[in-house]
Amino acid sequence: MNTLETAPQAQPQQPQPEANGDASVQQRSVDWDNPRVSAILAAAAKCFARKGFSATTLAEIGKELGLRKSIVHYYFASKAALIHEVQSFTYHKYLDRVKEAVRATGEADPKQRMLSALRSLWDVMQNNKTATGLNIEVWSAARRDPELKRRAAALQHDARKLIGDGVTDVLGSRAADFPQMEALSSLILAVLNGLAVAEFLEGEDQAKTKDAYDAFLYLLRLGIRSMDGGAAPAKA
């Protein structure tokens, strides 16, 4: 699997991540700005999400792009290395879209901004079934691949931090009054993951998962109001 004999002559610009190395998720060394690299990562995400890691070959991923398997090998030394990179790549793409969607709403009020952000998280997830399929595959494969599990845990941690920062932004100076910030971030992430699974299994009932998310946002608004000592909001 490591033959590079038919690969292009030029050397990769940056070292590839080790399949089982201890490089942190932050210390990314694959050049996502290289159009060919990002095309391979996007094609791999699609194939992995559809068929799973073990049933997908590097040759199939190359075929999606009209590339020889050797070219895929040139950029990714092994399928394990590609899997790890696809996971980070897809996750960061997802977050980029969320950030863009939040910015696009241009909400000035922090509470409205938080609700916008939570709606954006949902909408982006709706339009990114590949990310859901890939997540499920990662969770499954993580049981057999400690490095994948470590990376998945690090991404969960990043996502929680991002959500926590967003909530802190809303609560402002009162954030200190709310000792359960981390718990709340974990909860929001769990709701997104859990509803993504439900929607994947019961695809025909998308309205149901949307209603469940709305019910969650309603409860969150109650939580925020209770801190203000205000009345309960109108039901969503």
Confirm or reject binding of residue 152 to a copy of itself (CB under 8 A): yes
Q: Which CB sits closer to a copy of itself, 33 or 204?
A: 204
Q: From the list 99, 110, 149, 170, which residue makes contact with a copy of itself (rule: CB under 8 A)?
A: 149
CA 75 to CA 12: how far, in whole Å? 7
Site for a copy of itself contains 104 (CB under 8 A): no
What is the nearest approach in angstroms of a copy of itself to the Cβ of residue 182? 6
Q: Which is nearer to a copy of itself, 33 or 177 (CB)?
A: 177
| Assigned token pair, 139 | 């969770």
Q: What is the dihedral of CA 190, 192, 193, 195, to 10 degrees?
A: 110
Number of residues that bind a copy of itself (CB under 8 A): 53
Neighbouring C-beta atoms of residue 56, cutoff 10 Å: 20
59 binds a copy of itself, rule: CB under 8 A: no
Print the binding letters for residues 156-195 with a copy of itself: x by CB under 8 A, - otherwise. Answer: xx----------------------x-xxx-xx-xxxxxxx
Of 115, 136, 135, 131, the C-alpha closest to 188 is: 115
169 by Cβ neighbours in 10 Å (0-12 / 13-18 / 19+) ranks as middle
DSSP 209: H
Which of these, 202, 201, 183, 180, lies nearest to 191 by C-alpha position? 183
Distance of closest approach, residue 101 Cβ to a copy of itself, in angstroms: 21
- The CA distance from 186 to 180, in Å, is 10
User: Is residue 222 close enough to count as binding a copy of itself by CB under 8 A?
Assistant: yes
Question: Which residues contact a copy of itself (rule: CB under 8 A)?
Answer: 50-52, 54-55, 133, 136-137, 139-144, 149, 152-153, 156-157, 180, 182-184, 186-187, 189-195, 197-198, 200-202, 208-209, 211-216, 218-220, 222-223, 226, 232, 235
